[in-house]
Homo-oligomer: A and B are copies of this chain.
Amino acid sequence: MEKTDTAPRPDRKSPSWTQDPEGVRRSILEAARIEFVEHGLSGARVDEIAAKTATSKRMIYYYFGDKEGLYRAVIEEMYDRIRRFERGLDLGALPPDEAMAKLAGFTFDYHADNPDFVRMVMIENIHHARHLATSTKIATLNLSIIDVIREIYEGGVAAGLFRPGLEALDIHLTISALSFYNVSNRASIRQVFGHDMGAPDILPQRRQTAIDTVMRMLRH
């Protein structure tokens, strides 16, 4: 996302192709993300990914071993991103209630703006999070968001703003659920109820409802 540029170094002679491992890797990962997000793990076709790529199927297997290895790489990349997002939150300076409302809003927006992430998490859950379990990268980190929430929440309780007795995880799950569901179930909601929760004239209201709901959950 930051720099999509493949950066082909200036070539002296005139090689039929230029080596660019990192560029190839990124190109494959992006094509794979698009394909997996759209069709799931079993629905995705390696040949289709290869076709979307600047390079060939051969490279996919060279860099990622097999289809699942590629899928795992896509998952890891997405979790990396949301972790960076969570780390990037800077709410320390705000009073607890404002911090929590802002956190809920940010979380809602992140989901609304990244349906690919939401779909990938759905797909991974269909597979019982088997690949999350396998991944060595993902096992190591996380939980930072829970710490953030706990800190804000305890500050809020100390300040008399929030009622005591709640679990940080419970708060996080509530925020997540209210942020995730509109995106993950957008298609079926639209079919069944005729409302498109992603439409620009509906989303803001749903966003406000989500934030309000979280704040009402916390206050006395």
Partner of A212, one of B138, B146, B206, B217: B217
Residue numbers in B under 8 Å from A55 (CB-CB): none
B217 and A173 contact, CB distance less than 8 A: no
| Complex-state Cα separation, A14 to B133, whole angstroms | 54
Taken together as a complex, chains A and B put the C-alpha atoms of A132 and B173 apart, in Å, by 28
A65 CB → nearest B CB, Å? 20
Of the candidates B129, B181, B187, B193, the one whose C-beta lies within 8 Å of that of A128 is B187
Please report the C-alpha to C-alpha distance between residue A189 and residue B119 in the assembled complex, in whole angstroms: 15
A143 within 8 A of B: yes
Chain B residue numbers with a CB within 8 Å of A125 are 122, 184-188
Contact residue range for chain A?
Answer: 35 or more
Interchain CA distance A186-B129 in the complex, whole Å: 9
By the criterion CB–CB under 8 Å, are A133 and B191 in contact? yes
B42 lies within 8 A of A188 (CB): no
Q: Which residues of A from 116 to 165 have beta carbons under 8 Å from B?
A: 119, 121-129, 132-133, 138, 142-143, 146
Q: Does A92 contact B (CB under 8 A)?
A: no
Which residue on chain B has the smallest CB distance to residue A188?
A: B129
Residue in B closest to A179 when the chains form the complex, CB atoms: B177
Q: 5 new A-B pairs (CB below 8 Å) besides A122-B125, A146-B193, A177-B178?
A: A41-B43, A119-B126, A129-B191, A174-B213, A180-B181
What is A's interface to B at a CB cutoff of 8 Å? 39-43, 119, 121-129, 132-133, 138, 142-143, 146, 169-170, 173-174, 176-178, 180-182, 184-193, 195, 197, 205-206, 209, 212-213, 216-217
